[in-house]
Amino acid sequence: MHFREALSSSTTVTVTVRAFARYAEILGLETTTVELADPATVGDAVKRLRESIPNGHLLPDRPLVAVNSEHALAEAPLHDGDELALLPPLAGG
């Protein structure tokens, strides 16, 4: 799936979003892309997903996330081509 909307900014960033475990079940997908006005943050991407995807509102406002395989905060910037991972509460071991 690809979510695109009219953006006032002339510059955009496109990020790949991956969902895992329970979040993948809730959203019914494991990967998607979002296009956001530049500059964009993790929080912007999560907000878009919560509003655009069926059942997206079931995601937490501030889920645990990683950007390019590194733990990240909602305020972290996103750049074109980044991979944003939505991580349910961790349960290893």
Partner 1 sequence: MQYVTRRPIDVHALLSQVADPALGGTAMFLGSVRRGEDDGPVDAIDYSAYQDMVETEFAKIVEEAAAQWPGVRVVGAHRIGLVPAGEPSIAVVAAAPHRAEAFAACRHTIEEAKKRLPVWKKEIFTDGTEAWRNNDQPERDAEPTPS
Q: Which is nearer to partner 1, 28 or 39 (by Cβ)?
A: 28
Q: Which is nearer to partner 1, 36 or 84 (by Cβ)?
A: 84
User: Is residue 2 within 8 Å of residue 33, measured between CB atoms?
Assistant: yes
Q: What is the contact surface with partner 1 in residues (CB under 8 A)? A: 18, 20-22, 25-26, 66, 69-71, 85, 87-93
Distance separating the N- and C-terminal Cα atoms of the chain? 33
> Cβ of residue 22: shortest distance to partner 1, in angstroms?
5
| 11, two tokens | 């510059």
> Cβ of residue 53: shortest distance to partner 1, in angstroms?
15
> Cβ of residue 7: shortest distance to partner 1, in angstroms?
29
Alpha-carbon gap, residue 37 to 27, rounded angstroms: 23
Alpha-carbon gap, residue 71 to 2, rounded angstroms: 24
Q: Which is nearer to partner 1, 6 or 91 (by Cβ)?
A: 91
